[in-house]
Amino acid sequence: MKKKIAIIIERANIAMGGAERSVFELAAALKAHDLEVDILAAKGQTNARSIRILCPDGPGKRTGYLTFAKALKKHLSENNYDIVHSVLPFDFADVYQPRGGTYAESVLRNAVSYQNKLLESYKRMTAFANLRRTTLLRAERKLCRGPNGPVIAAISQYVAEQFKQHYGVANGQIVVISNGVKINKRINTAEAGKLHTQILAQFGLKEADKPVFFLFVANNFRLKGLAVLLKAMSVYCEAACRKTGRQAYLVVAGGGKTHKYRQLAKKLNPSMAERNIVFLGPIRHIQNALSIIDVAILPTFYDPCSRYILEALAADKPVITTRFNGASEQFVNNRHGKVIERSEDVPALAEAIGYFTDTNNIQKVSEAIVADNLKEKISINRVARQLISLYESILQRKDQK
């Protein structure tokens, strides 16, 4: 008989972002290994039989933690599952796998991303005026300190260290199962070609100009380090104007508000703002965009394990990110890309940009990504295999009780 798995997520809507997309990809990968998987969500719009919406009639876009917990317990009492796997901090789950890292760390790093000491202190002090965030953090702390709590499946070593630092969780309660993505996604060459033509036109370039395109993708531009990136581009452009050869151009994509960052770019360097930066807005298929750019860049202040960086590596593209991104653990610094030690280190980021304006460096890194078979390392199928092994160990312990 197939093992039956329940995966708990707040909202069953793949358009919400990376966490939701990861859960749906994981469910598909587990099903491919002959498991039966139900996704249990508070809200969502779907007719899929394997997705159970438990609080469809509640007001607002979100459902309260306690309301969802009550609905979950009722559903679990009426349906048998071998393993309950949750991305939210419910202590009745067998596995807790937070996609966003710990709530404690996310508050701290969000505050740092404002790059203003007074504002940072204010954000830390007022973070828990948000009742929902406070409820989730308390639930997470309780889950970590309970004697019979779930196994914590951290999506990076960075996240595992957060649990140890903030909650004193012992090694025996944590297992690191690094994040993964669906690899070998199909590229729509026609759409990719149109996007390439659009980007060249917006920059006023021709293919013969041999531009080096750096792609930044995010929705929260502040947290993901766009201001720092613009400053680094300004430093790079100041130096590049004295050099010949290939030039760097920054393509900014995502649903974040652009006005503030357009103004910052103009203030830093009007010429750069006009010639070297394009704001694309949201893009639907990241693999199409990755196929036409040279380097993926995300100087984030906080990312438990960025899907974007993993997807870039899966496309054999060099990457630049920071050590505050758990995805940096899945590639080798200076071989597959560049890892910046401090998110706010503008000179180091400018140097990394300059490094990849050398075609030989791009080619060398791309070849290393292929030679080292990083696709297998970052594959969602690898994640599924590791989770199945964890599930089996949990079931064995249950049988021994």
pLDDT of residue 264 exceeding 70, the answer is: yes
Give the mean model confidence (pLDDT) for residues 298-304: 98
Q: Which token pair is 10?
A: 């707040």
Domains, the chain, with CATH or none: 4-180+379-400 (3.40.50.2000), 189-377 (3.40.50.2000)
pLDDT of residue 296 exceeding 80, the answer is: yes
Beta carbons of 264 and 227 less than 8 angstroms apart: yes
With a pLDDT cut of 90, the percent of the chain lying above it is 83
* Burial class of residue 171 in the structure, from the number of CB atoms within 10 Å of its CB (0-12 exposed, 13-18 middle, 19+ buried): exposed
Tell me the pLDDT tens digit for each residue of 101-138: 999 999 999 999 999 999 999 999 898 888 899 999 99
Confidence (pLDDT) at 348: 98
Distances (CA, A) of 74 to 3, 42, 347: 21, 13, 55
pLDDT of residue 203 exceeding 80, the answer is: yes
Strands 295-298 vs 95-96: parallel, antiparallel or unpaired: unpaired
Tell me the pLDDT tens digit for each residue of 11-43: 887 655 567 888 999 999 999 999 999 999 999
> Which residues in 271-372 belong to E strands, given as ranges?
277-281, 295-298, 319-322, 337-340
Return d(Cα 97, Cα 8) in angstroms, integer: 10
* Torsional sign, CA 265, 268, 274, 275: negative
> When comparing pLDDT for 17 and 380, which is higher?
380
State residue 283 phi and psi, 5-degree precision.
-125, 140
- Using the structure block, give the residue that is written with the tokens 């508000």: 257
